[in-house]
Structure 1
Amino acid sequence: MDYRILIRFKILKQQISLHFYFNFNSAYPFNCTMGGSIVDDDWEFAASSNLVSTIVLVGKLGYGKSSTGNSILGRKAFLSKFSPAGVTSTCEMESTILKDGRTINVIDTPGLFDSSGGSESIGQEIVKCINMAKDGIHAVLMVFSIKVRFSEEEQTTIEKLQSFFGERIVDYMIVVFTGGDELEDCPMTFKDYIEQAPKPLQKIIHWCKNRVVVFNNKTKDKKKQAAQVEQLLLLVDSVIMSNGGKPFTDEIFLELKAGALRLQDKEKEVESLKGYTEEQISELRKEIYKSYNDQLARITTMVEHKLNSTIERLEKQLAEEQAARLQAEKISEEARVKSDSEIRELKASLKKAQKESEEFRKQSGSQGCNIL
C-alpha cells in the first residue's frame, strides 16, 4: 500500500475509533484524534524517500522522558529508573523499524532548557542533539508529568524553546503526559485532568494545536502499550502532514549538516589517495577531524551565547512581569486599605448620626412631657 494512503487510512480509522471511545461533546477543546489536524480532500503528503522520522523528547529531568522513549521503541534502550534526580546525563539516540517499514529515530535528552544545568553543558547537548538529527526533527515531544504540579518553570521551558528555535518550533510539538497510571487509580479521566489544568498549561496545549496524549509507562498490558504508542505515532504523522513532510531545521542544523558532509567528502578523498604512507594518511585524517571539531566548538560557543541571550531576555521579561504584578497588587492593596478606611469612617459617621438622632429623639420626647 502507498505510504500516503496508509497514513491517511490510519488517521481516519483512529479518528472514528477515538470519537466513539471518548464521546466528546462540542464544548471539549480537542478533536477526535486529540491532534488538531484536519484531513482535507486535496491533502498531499511529501513522504521522505527513506521513510525515516526523527522525534526528540524534551522536558524537565525526572519527568519520564527515557521511559517514554522505551515505550515508543518497545524495548529498554534508554536507562530509566526511579530517582529523585534525572538519570539521563547526555543526549542519546535509538531507532526502531515499524511494521509498515518506517524507521523511527528517538532522541532522549537530559533536560534541555532546564534550569538545572549550566549554559555550557546545555549548549553542548543542544549541539549534540542537533548533530544526531542532521536531517531535521519531525516531531518534538514536550513531556510533562501528571504526578508533578505544573509550575512557572515548565512554562518558561517551552518559552525558552520557542525563543531559541523560533516560533515555528511549536508547529512540530506534541504534549505528552507521563504518569497515566495515576489516572487509572482515581475517578478522574484524562479529559477531566486537561479541563482542570491551569491556564498556562492549557495555553501550551493550544499552542501545540491540541496535540496531546497520555502515557502509562508502567503498564504490562500489551494492548495498552500498543494503543498509546499508535496514538502518539498518529499525532507524529499529523505533524509531518501539517508541515508538508518537511522536518524542522534552522541555520544550526544546516551548518552542522554541511560540516558533516564536508567531513565525509574529505574522508573519501583521503581513502582514494595513493602513494602516501599510513603515517601521512593518519596525519591527514587528524587534520580533517581537527577542522571538524573546531567547527563543532565554534557552533557550540555560538549556541551558548544564543542560549544565554535567550535566558537573559526571558528573565528580564519575567522580572518585568513580576514587577508589574507586584505593582498591581500594591495598588490593589492600597485601594483595599483606602476602601476599608472609608468604610470604617462611614460606619463611624453613621454610628455618630444614629447616636445624635437617638439623643435628639429623647430630648424631643422629654420636652413634650414637660409641655404637657
Structure 2
Amino acid sequence: MTNPNKMIINLALFGMTQSGKSSAGNILLGSTDFHSSFAPCSVTKNCNLSRSCLLHNFMRRGGQEITLQVQVLDTPGYPHSKLSKKHVKQEIREALAHHFGQEGLHLALLVQRADVPFFGQETLYPVQMMQELLGHAWKNYTAILFTHAEKIEEAGFNEDGYLHEASDMLLTLLNSIQHRYLFQYRKGTSLNEQRMKILERIMEFVRENCYQALTFK
C-alpha cells in the first residue's frame, strides 16, 4: 500500500568529466554509493542508480509531515575519455527509461565546476545531450549545480558576484532554465548540513513544477 506521507524524488546528474557528479550524488544520498576520485580520465563508465535512506519529517505538505527519499542516477561524463557520444547517449537513454520511465524524472542537475569558466563549444556538449535525451521540456526540469563553490569565496566573490561576472553563455543558459541553480561547498559546514541545504533548494524547484515529473516511454 502506498504511503501518502512518503515522497520519492528522482534526480539525474549530467556534466563533463571530473565536474564532480559522483561526489555530488553522494552528498545528495548521504552515502558513498558512487565511486568518486580524481583521475586523468573519465571515471564513471556506466549509469548507476542509488536511493537514500528515509528522511523523516523533512517537510510539511497539506498539514502532514512528509518523509522524503531521494533516488539519484549518476551518468558518465561527456566528453568521455574512452566512450563515444553515441555510446554515452544510449547508456543514459536506456537508464532513464528503465529507472524513471513510469515514475518520471523530477529534476536533471547539470553539474558544473564553479572554478572552471563556462564557455566554449565543448562546455555545451552535456547541455546538448540533455536536450536530446529529455526532449523539448528539458528547460522545465533542469537546474545547475555548481560544485567546488568554496573556490568562489577563496577568490573573493560571493554567489551573486560570481554570477554577475559569469560568461554570457552561462547567463543565457541560466535565463533559459528560469535561474534554477544551487552551490555545493566542500568546507565550512558538515556534510549533513550541506546535504539538507541542497535538498531544500531542490524541493523548491520541484514545488515550482507542482511536483510533476518528466516521463520516458
Give the drift of 1:184. Answer: 3.2
Structure with greater strand percent = 2
CA RMSD of aligned residues (A): 2.2
Residue 112 of structure 2 corresponds to 144
Give the drift of 1:146. Answer: 1.6
Note if 1:78 corresponds to 2:34.
yes
Note if 1:197 corresponds to 2:166.
yes
Structure 1 residue runs of 5 or longer lacking an equivalent are 1-46, 255-372
Helix, strand or coil for the counterpart of 1:244?
coil
CA distance in 2, matches of 1:165, 1:99: 31
Give the drift of 1:228. Answer: 3.4
Q: Tell me: CA distance 1:141–1:121, structure 2 relative to 1, closer, same or farther (3 Å).
A: closer
Q: 1:173 aligns with which of 137, 142, 145?
A: 142
Structure with greater helix percent = 1
Note if 1:234 corresponds to 2:191.
no
Question: Could you tell me whether the CA contact under 8 Å between 2:55 and 2:68 is conserved in 1?
Answer: yes
CA distance in 2, matches of 1:48, 1:123: 35
Residue 247 of structure 1 corresponds to 213
Give the TM-score normalised by structure 1.
0.50
Residue 79 of structure 2 corresponds to 115
Residue 36 of structure 1 corresponds to none
Amino acid at match of 1:71: I
Deviations 1:155-198 (A, max 9, x none): 24313322443231111111101111212323122221111110
CA distance in 2, matches of 1:155, 1:138: 22
Residue 7 of structure 2 corresponds to 51
Residue 92 of structure 2 corresponds to 125
Residue 176 of structure 2 corresponds to 207
Identity level (%) = 22
Give the drift of 1:214. Answer: 1.1
CA distance in 2, matches of 1:48, 1:236: 20
Bigger Rg, structure 1 or 2: 1
Q: Which has the higher contact order (CA 8 A, sep 6+)?
A: 2
CA distance in 2, matches of 1:177, 1:193: 11
Question: Could you tell me whether the CA contact under 8 Å between 1:141 and 1:174 is conserved in 2?
Answer: yes
Give the TM-score normalised by structure 2.
0.83
Structure 2 residue runs of 5 or longer lacking an equivalent are 58-66
Give the drift of 1:141. Answer: 0.6
Q: Tell me: CA distance 1:78–1:188, structure 2 relative to 1, closer, same or farther (3 Å).
A: same
CA distance in 2, matches of 1:240, 1:48: 17
Give the drift of 1:52. Answer: 0.8
CA distance in 2, matches of 1:209, 1:121: 27
